[in-house]
C-alpha cells in the first residue's frame, strides 16, 4: 500500500489562523510581475488594477523563521493612483523602508554609500530582498487578513534581534564533516 492510499501516518494539518497582530518577523519579499509597462514603469514589474485607476507592485512576503516560518502575507505597494498622489508617496516611503531594512541602513544615514543603496535600477532589485516587518491584522474587509505596512530598520532596537535570527535548520556539508586525516598525534598527552 502506498502513502497515497493510507493516510494514518500523515502529519496533522497546519493551522491557517491569522498571524497575531503586531508580530515582528524576518521576511523575504517576492514580487509578482504584473507586465504593465508605461513610460514611467518600463520594466514590467508593475500591475494595473482591475479598475484601471491604480498601478502597484503585487507582493508576497514569506516568513523566514520563528513560529510562523514559511507562512505568507500578500500585499501591494502603491506606485500610482488616478485618485490621489498620496498613494504613490506611501509606496515610495514603503520601498525606502524596505531598502533600509534589507541593507541595514539607518533612515538618517545620508552618506553617499547609503544613498547609493537606496537607489534601484529596476523594481527587480526589490525582488528577493530579506527585511524585518511588522505583520498586522486588517479586519476592515469581508474577511480579516494579515498585512504588512511597516518595516523595521536599524533605527529600532529590535532590528538586530530579528535580522540576525537564524532558521535553526542548517545544511550539513558531509564532505567536510566526515573528512578523515592521516595526521599523527604530536603526543599521547591529553590537552587538558
SS3 162: helix
Phi, psi of 162 (to 5 degrees): -95, -40
SS3 122: coil
pLDDT band at 13 (very low <50, low <70, confident <90, very high): confident
Q: What average pLDDT does range 130-134 have in this prediction?
A: 97
SS3 156: coil
Q: Which of 52-56, 107-111, 113-117, 181-185 has the lowest mean pLDDT?
A: 181-185
Evaluate if pTM is beyond 0.85.
no
Question: What does the CA dihedral 163, 44, 146, 103 come to, rounded to 10 degrees?
Answer: 10
- 61 burial (CB, 10 Å; 0-12 / 13-18 / 19+) is buried
- Measured CA to CA, the distance from residue 49 to residue 56 in angstroms comes to 8
- Measured CA to CA, the distance from residue 111 to residue 15 in angstroms comes to 45
Residue 169 has pLDDT above 80, yes or no: no
- Measured CA to CA, the distance from residue 34 to residue 49 in angstroms comes to 10
pLDDT, position 166:
62
Residue 165 has pLDDT above 80, yes or no: no
- Measured CA to CA, the distance from residue 67 to residue 72 in angstroms comes to 13
Q: What average pLDDT does range 134-163 have in this prediction?
A: 95
* Tens of pLDDT, residues 29-58: 999 999 999 999 999 999 999 999 999 999
Query: Which residues have a Cβ under 8 Å from the Cβ of 8 and sit 6 or more positions away?
Result: none
pLDDT band at 102 (very low <50, low <70, confident <90, very high): very high
pLDDT band at 103 (very low <50, low <70, confident <90, very high): very high
The mean pLDDT value of the chain amounts to 88
Amino acid at each position: 500500500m502506498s502513502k497515497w492510499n493510507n493516510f494514518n501516518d500523515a502529519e496533522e494539518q497546519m493551522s491557517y489562523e491569522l498571524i497575531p497582530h503586531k508580530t515582528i518577523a524576518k521576511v523575504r519579499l517576492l514580487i509578482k510581475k504584473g507586465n504593465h509597462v508605461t513610460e514611467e514603469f518600463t520594466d514590467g514589474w508593475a500591475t494595473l488594477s482591475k479598475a484601471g485607476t491604480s498601478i502597484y507592485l503585487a507582493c508576497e512576503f514569506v516568513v523566514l523563521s520563528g513560529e510562523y516560518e514559511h507562512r505568507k502575507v500578500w500585499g501591494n505597494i502603491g506606485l500610482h493612483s488616478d485618485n490621489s498622489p498620496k498613494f504613490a508617496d506611501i509606496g515610495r516611503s514603503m520601498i525606502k523602508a524596505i531598502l533600509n531594512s534589507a541593507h541595514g541602513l539607518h533612515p538618517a544615514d545620508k552618506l553617499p554609500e547609503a544613498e547609493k543603496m537606496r537607489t534601484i535600477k529596476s523594481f527587480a532589485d526589490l525582488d528577493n530582498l530579506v527585511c524585518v516587518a511588522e505583520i498586522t491584522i486588517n479586519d476592515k474587509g469581508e474577511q480579516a487578513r494579515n498585512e504588512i505596512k511597516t518595516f523595521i530598520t536599524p533605527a529600532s532596537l529590535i532590528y538586530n534581534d530579528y535580522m540576525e535570527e537564524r532558521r535553526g535548520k542548517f545544511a550539513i556539508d558531509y564532505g567536510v564533516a566526515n573528512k578523515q586525516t592521516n595526521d599523527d598525534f604530536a603526543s599521547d598527552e591529553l590537552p587538558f
